[in-house]
C-alpha cells in the first residue's frame, strides 16, 4: 500500500518504507501522524482525506499560513462595540481637550463609522477595509501639529493626555493583529485611570467603572466568543465580590505614602474667584451653579447672614481693579504672623470641617478669625488662608474660628498710609467727596454710617446686569449709573474710605450657603461669591463692613439664595434648567444626590495620611504600623485560603457532551478489535491501520477525526455547535456499521509508502 501526502504548492519524490523494517515503519507512521495533526490544528476544517485504489491522499485547500502579516479582523458587531467604548472613553476628557483636538477626534470617529457602514453595505461578512496609510499619516501629522502648537499653554500633563487620547482614537485604524486590539484595550484602561486625575466625585467614578466593565466585556467577547456569556459574567461577579474585602482592607490599612513628585498641571482656567477683581467680575460668577466647597459644623453654626467666607484680601488698587499682589509679587508683610486678640471671657467659637473642590489655586476659605488648619496650609498676616500646593483635587481641612476676635488692634503709621493710598487722577469726584466727608466728620464711625445711609436712601440698585463703566470708573458708578453688583459697592466704599483717610481694603469670598438637610452640611456655590470691605478703626482693629446690605438687605439675609434666583431665572429664561431646578421635588432629589457625593468625598477622597494615622492609632493603639502590616498579611492569606478552598470544594465537574462520549465509545470498540494507540497519540494515527482493513471505513474515520477536532477547538456559536454535534453523532453511528469489517488481531499491515 502507498500512503500519499500531497501539498498543494509542491510535490516531492515519494519515500517508500518497507514493512520488513518495523522500527522504520513505526517511526515514519508517527511522523505522518504528527504532520497531519499539526495541519489539522492549524486549519482543521480545511483538511480532506481521499482514498483512491488503496491510496490515501491528504489535500490542503485554500490554506493561508498564519504569520505576523496576517490581517486580523473583528466582526461588525465587535467593531461597533469598540467604537462605542472609544467614544464614551474620550468623552470623559471633553473639558480637558482643546477644541481642535476634539474636532480631529470627532473626525476620526466619523471615519470609523463610515468604514464599518461601508463594510455592512457591501455584505463582506464583517471584513473592513484597512485605512489607507496616507489617511493615517494625515491624521497623525495633524494631531502632532495640534499638540505642538498648544503644548506650552497646556503644560506637560495635559499635553500627554492629548497625545494618549489622540493615539487611542486613531489606533483603531490599524488593527492588523490581535495584539493591536489588546493594545487598544490597555490604552483605554489607562485613560480611565487618567480621567480620575481631573474629577473624583462618586458619579464620575461610577461612570469610569462602567466604562472599565465595558472594556473588559469587549475583551471577553473577542477572546472567548464561544463561551456562554451569562456563565462567564456570573463567575466574574463572584471574583469581583471576593476582591472587595481585599480592596477595602488595602485602602484602610495599607500605608499611604505621600507622593515624591508633583503633577505638572497647567494653569487651567476654573470657574471661581480670581486673584484680582474689577466691577462686573463677581456678577458673572452669580450665573454659575458650580460647587465651591462644603462645610460641616461640629455643634452650633452661625446664621447664614453672618457666614462671610474669606478667600482673599486685596489691598492694592490701580484705578481699575483690586488685587492681592502688586506686579504679581506678594508683599513681604504677609509672611508675618497674624496679629489678633481673643478676650479671656470670649467663649464664642465655631468648629467646622471644610471640603473644598478643585480650583487649581492656593487659597482656602474660612470664617473670621480662623486658626491655621494643618501643616500644609498657613495663615497670612491679612487673615487669609493659603495651601502650600495648588488645589488640584478635593481637599478637606478642619478649622476653628473666633468671630469676636480683634484683628490687628494696633497699626503703625506706615501701614495706615499704605491702606489709604490711592492712585493720582483716578475718580477725582469720589476723592473730593471723601476729603469733604473727612472734614465734616471727626468721628470715623459717624462718617461710615453716613456713607451707608447714602447707599440706603438714594436710588442705588442691586442687579446682576450692571451697565458697563468706562475704564471701570467708580465716579461713573457712584454718581451716574448707580446700578451694580456687590463688587461695585464694595469697591466704591473702600475707595471712599481711603479718600476720607480711613484705612480700608477689599475682601472677596463667599456669603452664606445652602443647608443640605440630608447630609447635615452647608453647600456653597459659585453664585454665592461676594465682595465686602474691611476698615480699620482704633482699638477695634479690622471691622467688616458690607455696603451691599444697605442697598439690598435681602442679599445678606437668611434667605439670600432666593434673593438672586429670580434674576438668574430671568436672565436664563423661563424654560432654562435654572427655572426647572427650582421645583421643590427636584430640589429634594438634588440634595439627596449631593449628600451621597459628600459622604463619598468625606470618607474616601479625604482619607489622607493624617486621617489614616489617626484612625490606626485609635483602632490599634501604639505600634499601629506593625499591626496594620500584620492585618494586611492576614487578609492576603485569608483571601488565598478562601480561593484555594473554593477551588478545592467547588471543583468543576467535567460533564462531557454527548458527541464526545459517542466518539470515545467508538475508540474503545476499535481498541477491542486490536487497533490500539498510545496515550500521547491522536485518534488520526489509527487511519493507516483502518485503511489496511477497509478503505471506506478509513474515509469515514478520517472525516470523524476532522469533525471531532473542529468541535473541540474551533470557536462555534451555540447554534453552530449544536448543528455540528448532531451531524457528528450521526457520523459515529454510520461508522459503527463498518466495525464488523475491521479486525487487526493478526497485526499485519503490509507495505506502506509515503508520498509528500
**pLDDT, tens digit (0-9, with 9 covering 90-100), for 317-359:** 988 899 988 777 777 788 888 888 888 788 889 999 999 988 8
pLDDT value, residue 129: 66
- Calculate mean pLDDT across residues 136-153: 89
Note the pLDDT of residue 490. Answer: 93
Q: Which of 23-27, 32-36, 248-252 has the highest mean pLDDT?
A: 248-252
94 within 8 A of 102, measured Cβ to Cβ: yes
Task: Output the pTM of the full model.
Answer: 0.65
User: What pLDDT, in 10s, does the model give residues 529-563?
Assistant: 999 999 999 989 999 999 988 887 765 554 555 55
Q: Helix, strand, coil proportions of the chain in percent (round to 5)?
A: 50, 15, 35
As a whole number of angstroms, the distance between CA 330 and CA 311 comes to 15
Angle at which helices 695-713 and 22-42 pack, to 10 degrees?
A: 40
pLDDT tens-digit map of 464-512: 778 888 777 899 999 988 888 889 999 999 999 999 999 999 999 999 8
Lowest-confidence pick of 99-103, 324-328, 726-730, 740-744: 740-744
* 8 A C-beta contact, residue 512 and residue 563: no
pLDDT in tens, 514-531: 888 888 899 999 888 999
Give the residue with greater pLDDT, 244 vs 208: 208
Tell me, what's the pLDDT at 438? 92
Residue 320's pLDDT is: 87
| pLDDT band with cut points at 50, 70 and 90 for residue 257 | low
The backbone region for 573, taken as left when phi is positive above 0, alpha when psi lies in -120 to 50, beta otherwise, is: left
Q: How far apart are alpha carbons 478 and 469 in whole angstroms?
A: 11
- pLDDT, residue 623, reads 62
Of the two residues 412 and 589, the one the predictor is more confident about is 412
**HEC letters along 629-653:** HHHHHHHHHHHHHHHHHHHHHCCCC
Over residues 649-675, mean pLDDT: 78
Neighbouring residues of 287: CB distance < 8 A, sequence distance ≥ 6: 464, 527, 568, 571, 572
Question: In the chain, pLDDT over 70 holds for what percent of residues?
Answer: 76
CA–CA gap between residue 8 and residue 729 (Å, rounded):
31
| CA gap 742, 736 in Å, rounded | 10
Active site residue 546: yes
pLDDT band, residue 67 (cuts 50/70/90): very low
User: Where is average pLDDT lowest: 44-53, 293-302, 415-424, 490-499?
Assistant: 44-53
Q: Which ranges of 548-694 does DSSP label H, i.e. alpha helix?
A: 548-551, 560-572, 577-580, 584-600, 609-620, 624-649, 658-672, 687-693
Asked if residue 361 has pLDDT above 90, the reply is no
Q: Which of 276, 528, 546, 709 is catalytic?
A: 546
So what's the pLDDT on residue 186?
A: 92
- Of the candidates 56, 663, 707, the one whose C-alpha atom is nearest the C-alpha of residue 671 is 663
Q: For residue 369, is the peptide bond before it cis, meaning its omega torsion is within 30 degrees of 0?
A: yes
Q: Of 162, 192, 488, 530, which one is the catalytic site residue? A: 530
In which residue are the cell numbers 509672611 written? 335
pLDDT at 209: 86
Mean residue pLDDT across the chain:
78
* Beta-strand relationship, 752-755 and 2-5: parallel
Q: Which residue has the cell 485504489?
A: 53
Looking at residue 13, its pLDDT comes to 39
Which residues lie below 8 Å from residue 251, measured CB to CB, with a gap of 6+?
604, 607
Residue 79, pLDDT > 60, answer yes
pLDDT digits 0-9 by tens, 373-396:
666 788 898 999 998 888 888 888
Which residues on adjacent β-strands are paired with residue 532?
Answer: 507
Give 423-439 pLDDT, tens digit per residue: 988 889 999 999 999 99
Of 406, 403, 404, 401, nearest in space to 297 by CA: 401
Work out the number of other CB atoms within 10 angstroms of the CB of residue 324: 25
pLDDT greater than 90 at residue 55? no
For this structure, is 732 an active site residue? no
Listed residue (198, 229, 233, 238) closest to 213, CA to CA:
233
Task: Clarify whether 376 is annotated catalytic.
Answer: no
Residue 377 is predicted with a pLDDT of: 80
Confidence of residue 62 (pLDDT cuts 50, 70, 90): very low
Q: How many CA atoms lie within 13 A of 58 on its CB side?
A: 25
- Pull the grid cell for residue 200: 473624583
Beta sheet of 529-537, edge-to-edge order: 308-314, 504-511, 529-537, 541-545
Amino acid at each position: 500500500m502507498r500512503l500519499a501526502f500531497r501539498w498543494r504548492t509542491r510535490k516531492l519524490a515519494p519515500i517508500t518504507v518497507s514493512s520488513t523494517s518495523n522500527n522504520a515503519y513505526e517511526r515514519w507512521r508517527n511522523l505522518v501522524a504528527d504532520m497531519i495533526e499539526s495541519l489539522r490544528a492549524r486549519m482543521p476544517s480545511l483538511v480532506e482525506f481521499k482514498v483512491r485504489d488503496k491510496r490515501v491522499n491528504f489535500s490542503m485547500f485554500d490554506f493561508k499560513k498564519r504569520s505576523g502579516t496576517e490581517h486580523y479582523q473583528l466582526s461588525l458587531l465587535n467593531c461597533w462595540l469598540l467604537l462605542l467604548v472609544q467614544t464614551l472613553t474620550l468623552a470623559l476628557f471633553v473639558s480637558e481637550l482643546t477644541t481642535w483636538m476634539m474636532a480631529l477626534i470627532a473626525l476620526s470617529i466619523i471615519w470609523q463609522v463610515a468604514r464599518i457602514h461601508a463594510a455592512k453595505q457591501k455584505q463582506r461578512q464583517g471584513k473592513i477595509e484597512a485605512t489607507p496609510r496616507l489617511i493615517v499619516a494625515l491624521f497623525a501629522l495633524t494631531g502632532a501639529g495640534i499638540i505642538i502648537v498648544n503644548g506650552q499653554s497646556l503644560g506637560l500633563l495635559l499635553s500627554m493626555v492629548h497625545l494618549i487620547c489622540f493615539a487611542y482614537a486613531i489606533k483603531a485604524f490599524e488593527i492588523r493583529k490581535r495584539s493591536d486590539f489588546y493594545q487598544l484595550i490597555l490604552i483605554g484602561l489607562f485613560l480611565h485611570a487618567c480621567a480620575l486625575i481631573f474629577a473624583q466625585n462618586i458619579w464620575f467614578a461610577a461612570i469610569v467603572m462602567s466604562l472599565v466593565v465595558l472594556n473588559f466585556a469587549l475583551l471577553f467577547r473577542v477572546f472567548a466568543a464561544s463561551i456562554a456569556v451569562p456563565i462567564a459574567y456570573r463567575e466574574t461577579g463572584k471574583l469581583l465580590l471576593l476582591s472587595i474585602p481585599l480592596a477595602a482592607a488595602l485602602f484602610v490599612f495599607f500605608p499611604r505614602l505621600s507622593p515624591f513628585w508633583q503633577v505638572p498641571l497647567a494653569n487651567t482656567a476654573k470657574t471661581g474667584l480670581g486673584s484680582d477683581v474689577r466691577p462686573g467680575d463677581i456678577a458673572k460668577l452669580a450665573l454659575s451653579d458650580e460647587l465651591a466647597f462644603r462645610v460641616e459644623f461640629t455643634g452650633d453654626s452661625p446664621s447664614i447672614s453672618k457666614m462671610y467666607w474669606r478667600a482673599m484680601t486685596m489691598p492694592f488698587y490701580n484705578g481699575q481693579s483690586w488685587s492681592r499682589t502688586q506686579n504679581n509679587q506678594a508683599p513681604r508683610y504677609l509672611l508675618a504672623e497674624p496679629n489678633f486678640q481673643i478676650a479671656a471671657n470670649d467663649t464664642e467659637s465655631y468648629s467646622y470641617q471644610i471640603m473644598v473642590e478643585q480650583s487649581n489655586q492656593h487659597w482656602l476659605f474660612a470664617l473670621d478669625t480662623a486658626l491655621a488648619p494643618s501643616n500644609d496650609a498657613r495663615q497670612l498676616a491679612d487673615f487669609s488662608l493659603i495651601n502650600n500646593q495648588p488645589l488640584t483635587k478635593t481637599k478637606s481641612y478642619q478649622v476653628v474660628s473666633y468671630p469676636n476676635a480683634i484683628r490687628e488692634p494696633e497699626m503703625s503709621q506706615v501701614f495706615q498710609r499704605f491702606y489709604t493710598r490711592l492712585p493720582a487722577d483716578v475718580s477725582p469726584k469720589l476723592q473730593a467727596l471723601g476729603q469733604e466727608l473727612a472734614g465734616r466728620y471727626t468721628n470715623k464711625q459717624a462718617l461710615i454710617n453716613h456713607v451707608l445711609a447714602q447707599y440706603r436712601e438714594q436710588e442705588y440698585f442691586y442687579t446682576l446686569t450692571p451697565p458697563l463703566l468706562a475704564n471701570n470708573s467708580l465716579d461713573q458708578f457712584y454718581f451716574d449709573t448707580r446700578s451694580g453688583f456687590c463688587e461695585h459697592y464694595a469697591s466704591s466704599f473702600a475707595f471712599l474710605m481711603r479718600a476720607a483717610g480711613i484705612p480700608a481694603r477689599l475682601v472677596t469670598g463667599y456669603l452664606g450657603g445652602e443647608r443640605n438637610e440630608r447630609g447635615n452640611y452647608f453647600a456653597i456655590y459659585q453664585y454665592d461669591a461676594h465682595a465686602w470691605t474691611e476698615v480699620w478703626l482704633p482699638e477695634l482693629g479690622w471691622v467688616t463692613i458690607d455696603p451691599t446690605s444697605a442697598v439690598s438687605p435681602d442679599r445678606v439675609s437668611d434667605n439670600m439664595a432666593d434673593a438672586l434666583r429670580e434674576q438668574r431665572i430671568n436672565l436664563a429664561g423661563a424654560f432654562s434648567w435654572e427655572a426647572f431646578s427650582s421645583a421643590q421635588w427636584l430640589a429634594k432629589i438634588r440634595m439627596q444626590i449631593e449628600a451621597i457625593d459628600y459622604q463619598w468625598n468625606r470618607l474616601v477622597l479625604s482619607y489622607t495620611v493624617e486621617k489614616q494615622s489617626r484612625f490606626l492609632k485609635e483602632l490599634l493603639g501604639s505600634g499601629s504600623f506593625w499591626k496594620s502590616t500584620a492585618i494586611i498579611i492576614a487578609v492576603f492569606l485569608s483571601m488565598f485560603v478562601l480561593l484555594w478552598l473554593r477551588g478545592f470544594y467547588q471543583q468543576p465537574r467535567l460533564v462531557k457532551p454527548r458527541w464526545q462520549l459517542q466518539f470515545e465509545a467508538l475508540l474503545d470498540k476499535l481498541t477491542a478489535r486490536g487497533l490500539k494507540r498510545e496515550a500521547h497519540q491522536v485518534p488520526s494515527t489509527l487511519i493507516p491501520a483502518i485503511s489496511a482493513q477497509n478503505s471506506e471505513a478509513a474515509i469515514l474515520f478520517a472525516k470523524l477525526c476532522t469533525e471531532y477536532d473542529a468541535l473541540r477547538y474551533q470557536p462555534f456559536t451555540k447554534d453552530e455547535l449544536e448543528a455540528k454535534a448532531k451531524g457528528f453523532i450521526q457520523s459515529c453511528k454510520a461508522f459503527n456499521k463498518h466495525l464488523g469489517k475491521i479486525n487487526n488481531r493478526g497485526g499485519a499491515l503490509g507495505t506502506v509508502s509515503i508520498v509528500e
